[in-house]
Structure 1
Amino acid sequence: MPWHRAVAQDVVLGASVQLTGPVANTGRYYRDAYQLAVDKINARGGVKLGGQSHKLALKLYDNQSDVNLSVRQYTELVTQDKVNLLLGPFASNFALADSAVAEKYQIPMVQGGGASDQIFSRGFRYIFGTLAPASNYFGSTVEMLKALKPVPKAVALLYADDAFDVSVAEGTRPKLKRAGFPVAMDERYSTNASDFSSLLSQIKSKGVDAVLMAGHETEILNFVRQAKSLGVSPAMYSFTVGVPSEDFRKALGKDADFAFGMTAWLPSAQLKDRWFGDAERFAQEYKARFGYDPDYHAASGVADVEALVQAMENAGSTDPQRVRDALASLRFNSLYGPIAFNAQGQIDLPQVVIQVQGDVLAKVYEANRFVKPPKYPMPAWTAR
């Protein structure tokens, strides 16, 4: 059935998201977050422009986890569907490619799915991002390493060969050096890798006691499962993704215990916004509607919609240039945190270190101090 705008007055937001394929598990956070935000804002009266209320409509394509298809779909959203403004896909390599479409047609894209510094280092004017820079994902973790007792003696930095993970590694190397940690391993592996046995045997033979790993959720799951089967248990390991997600913890069960991760967002009544009230209420509504807990991907997805709405209202218009300028000077509180884009179009929220501690996802280290004692060092698999 062909898609039509419901009303000529609707403000249409367009996006291409991974609903099928290898990264659909994370892609659905964005589909669900965008829809929930659109419905919530519409229920609160929609977007107020020049004294008139307009409903939001969402036009969503499935890019099937294919970057080339995603680029074609964003081009179609702009040239054929004539959407007003753009929301982003998940993952840095997608955001990197898709933002070129936004730039070419000068239509603002706000995305909370790509954190790679590369996205924002090209001087583009129409891309805005709500994820913290990938280069600083391990910043708080490296600070925590210095405070652990005993302090780790040898660190492994492992990362996939995609835009996000390469940015993570590039930012983490100098942080480890400044902190005085010898890097025993600095290894790139291929995206969607399923065999980590050679890296794990190196971790064992080189006496690595702290592993920092940047990758996507399926890679992290494979790594942990193989670490168990090969009996490799460093004193600690930390992952850029997975740990905040309910699915990750369900997939591994008790084997998820002791894993460190990071998040720029946890549901809190202190995070207020004008549509949901606060982040705790948002998390309850999200879980009730979709049957799973939101993590920072979902919260950043909602913030993307809120940012576009706030910018349209500040500009009093849906004109792409005026909305772009309003985004550049935006200052507001969302349920995800304070939104204010820097000159490159990115925001920087501090990463909280979290750890799976039995049935609890514990906030362990924040603002250069332990909030809760970490479970460290990690016991051998046979001693659990």
Structure 2
Amino acid sequence: MYRKLIPALAVAALSLQAASALAADAPKDIVLGASVQLTGPVSNTGRYYRDAYEMAVEKINAAGGVKIGGQAHKLALKIYDNQSDVNLSVRQYTQLVSQDKVNLLLGPFASNFALADSAVSEKYQVPMVQGGGASDQIFSRKFKYIFGTLAPASNYFGSTVSMLKALKPAPQSVALLYADDAFDVSVAEGTRPLLKKAGLKVVMDERYSTNATDFNSLLSQIKSKQVDAVLVAGHETEILNFVRQAKSLAVAPKMYSFTVGVPSEDFRKALGKDADYAFGMTAWLPSAALKDRWFGDAQQFARAYKAKYGYDPDYHAASGVADVEALVEAMEKAGTADPKKVRDALAAIRFDSLYGPVAFNAHGQIDLPQVVIQVQGDNLAEVYGAKGFVTPPKYPMPAWNAR
């Protein structure tokens, strides 16, 4: 019996060795790490990035993964919930690179998070590609390992200011309101000289606290000063509060425009008909003209995203997909997942994504033009772009009781 057992054990041992050898030869997964706001005050926007990252990874893996040195590697994701807490986000990124040993990093949402978290990628020399932070402060520090796919915050209202001059009748007075976080401060700093150059009179330039819920004082000033155009840089929950209180106080300038909210389906659903007439901006619309390797075009992506997650993507989601695509393009160009070589490839990369052309400048940021959009009844209309008006704007905005 023992003589029969020994050969069987030998065969089993050889089989295990062969299996181990095959496993050792198999290409390892390339792990992308991120800390994203999945709970807390800005989780409604944070989910765009989680969903976009997941969808991009699934699509790329289905197409064979990342091709490096003749081998195909699958992508894997490791995502933590930072609970909308900047300090927790920094700790989680530190854990991702120092303990979890992820290969490369994807970013969080919001400029104040990207500003803090990019210090981790710089310290450990692991590139982070992020489409959630646009503040000029992120890219003014001469960091080498942070790359961004949002246009500079300082020019977010650039196309809107151009449109103001072309409106009939042109606004005679402007209010600039902004939250006190990194992104919105950058927006305000960039908008002031644009307004001055355009010859527009700024009668209010007011900073308010992030996550503010009470805009009554600012709205009362807008009403008493009879402001024509109101530009607000803030987060989505702040904008929702602003519009609701504007209605309750019967404050209806000729127009108002917001840096965020208007492109979001949830924002428009939350306000219903009260969202009508609101202007916003976006660097992305789901156009069939935007092609890429994996999704075909932006329209196909938008349909697939809606079918998978139950809500429409906006530019946050599109930029999130572009972040993953940029890392894949860079790895394939570098022929490795080595962080320093991927970083160098990112700095020189140029490719077409469903979000638009991606080519990082010397500071690590791309610059896509903002298109002015407006809620017009049940439609989100593209109103003004680089070549002027696309769709006639609904302007001036009527009084609340005249809608």
TM range (shorter): over 0.9
Of 263, 274, 282, the match for 1:255: 274
Is 1:285–2:310 an aligned residue pair?
no
Residue in structure 2 matched with residue 314 of structure 1 by the alignment: 333
Of 316, 328, 332, the match for 1:297: 316
Matched residue type, 1:375: K
- Contact persistence 1:144–1:368 (CA under 8 A): no
Is 1:383–2:365 an aligned residue pair?
no
Of 59, 64, 67, the match for 2:78: 59
Residue in structure 2 matched with residue 3 of structure 1 by the alignment: none
1:340-376 deviations in whole A, cap 9, x for unaligned?
0000000000000000000000000011410010000
Q: Secondary structure at the match of 1:141?
A: helix
- Contact persistence 1:70–1:98 (CA under 8 A): yes
1:272-329 deviations in whole A, cap 9, x for unaligned?
0000000000001100000000000000000000000000000000011100000000
- Contact persistence 1:140–1:368 (CA under 8 A): no
Is 1:35–2:35 an aligned residue pair?
no
- Contact persistence 2:27–2:73 (CA under 8 A): no
* Structure 2: 5+ residue stretches without partners: 1-25
What is the RMSD computed on CA atoms of the aligned residues?
Answer: 0.6
Q: Secondary structure at the match of 1:20?
A: coil
Of 60, 66, 72, the match for 2:91: 72
Is 1:134–2:163 an aligned residue pair?
no
Residue in structure 2 matched with residue 226 of structure 1 by the alignment: 245
Residue in structure 2 matched with residue 337 of structure 1 by the alignment: 356
Matched residue type, 2:186: S
Q: Secondary structure at the match of 2:83?
A: coil
Residue in structure 2 matched with residue 192 of structure 1 by the alignment: 211
Residue in structure 2 matched with residue 326 of structure 1 by the alignment: 345
1:207 to partner: Cα distance: 1.2
Q: Secondary structure at the match of 2:132?
A: coil
- Contact persistence 1:143–1:368 (CA under 8 A): no
Q: Secondary structure at the match of 1:292?
A: coil
Q: Secondary structure at the match of 2:100?
A: coil
Residue in structure 1 matched with residue 220 of structure 2 by the alignment: 201
Report the Cα distance in structure 2 between the residues aligned to 1:372 and 1:301, rounded to whole angstroms. 28
Residue in structure 1 matched with residue 18 of structure 2 by the alignment: none
Report the Cα distance in structure 1 between the residues aligned to 2:385 and 2:195, rounded to whole angstroms. 18
Matched residue type, 2:325: E
Is 1:86–2:105 an aligned residue pair?
yes
1:8 to partner: Cα distance: 6.6
Report the Cα distance in structure 2 between the residues aligned to 1:100 and 1:317, rounded to whole angstroms. 24
Of 134, 137, 140, the match for 1:115: 134
Report the Cα distance in structure 2 between the residues aligned to 1:8 and 1:366, rounded to whole angstroms. 46
Report the Cα distance in structure 2 between the residues aligned to 1:281 and 1:59, rounded to whole angstroms. 26
Report the Cα distance in structure 1 between the residues aligned to 2:137 and 2:225, rounded to whole angstroms. 32
1:107-186 paired onto structure 2 within 5 Å: 107-186=126-205
Matched residue type, 2:204: M
Q: Secondary structure at the match of 1:346?
A: coil
Residue in structure 1 matched with residue 382 of structure 2 by the alignment: 363
1:61 to partner: Cα distance: 0.2
Q: Which has the higher helix share?
A: 2
Matched residue type, 2:264: S
Residue in structure 1 matched with residue 21 of structure 2 by the alignment: none
1:217-273 deviations in whole A, cap 9, x for unaligned?
000000000000000000000000000000000000000000000000000110000
* Structure 1: 5+ residue stretches without partners: 1-6
- TM-score by length of structure 2 reads 0.93
- TM-score by length of structure 1 reads 0.98
Identity of aligned residues (%): 84
Deviation >4 Å, runs of 4+: none
Count of residues in Structure 1 that have an aligned counterpart in Structure 2: 378
Matched residue type, 1:110: V
Q: Secondary structure at the match of 1:64?
A: coil
Residue in structure 2 matched with residue 4 of structure 1 by the alignment: none
Of 43, 52, 60, the match for 1:24: 43
* Greater C-alpha radius of gyration: 2
- Contact persistence 2:64–2:72 (CA under 8 A): yes
Of 230, 243, 249, the match for 1:211: 230
